[in-house]
Amino acid sequence: MYTPINNYVFIDGNNLRLTYLNLKIEFKYDKFMSYLKKNYNVCVAYYFIGYIERCKDDYDKLTALGYTMKHRDISIQHGKSVTCPKCCQTYQERTKIKCDCDADIVLQIMSEISKYDKAIIVSSDGDFDNTIKQLLLIDKLHMVLAPCKKGCSDLLVRAARGRIAFLDELLGEMEKY
């Protein structure tokens, strides 16, 4: 009897979003979802990102496309006043919004390990190297999809042992979906 393939994708949403903002390329999440379903048999797509109220419409759009949103509280690091040592002019540093979902992603990957056949991890962050090594060891890693080859951690590349692709090199292919 045929059993359908049941793969899950775990997306480091901030890593993906910021990569394409910095590249000044519009990332097409609808095409990406179709690509994941058709090429990797993804049936659950977790998207991890900090929750910012002004982005609620974006989160709703991602949910409508089939992503399961996993939010984390953010921390706000207020900019401090800094005085330039050369000109003595004082300026205000930017306020930064921080949210690190890495531990949440790893926890989700491991707590649901019996529910999926293979995991696809979307990130270029080297912090996932040990998780990827563990998934390979127990034959649960399908692929790592890094948002961009240029900014991808060498630790991640080595850990994936050839099971890595770079989304910036796949954008043309994703357009077909």
Identify the structural domains of the chain with CATH numbers, from first to last. Answer: 7-174 (3.40.50.1010)
> Per-residue pLDDT tens for 32-42?
999 999 999 99
- Per the rule left: phi > 0, alpha: psi between -120 and 50, beta: everything else, 41 is left
Partners of 82 in the beta sheet? 91
Residue 22: its H or E element: helix 13-23
Instruction: Encode pLDDT of 41-99 as tens digits.
Output: 999 999 999 998 888 999 999 999 999 999 987 777 666 667 777 777 777 666 666 67
For residues 156 and 169, give the distance between their C-alpha atoms in angstroms, rounded to a whole number: 17
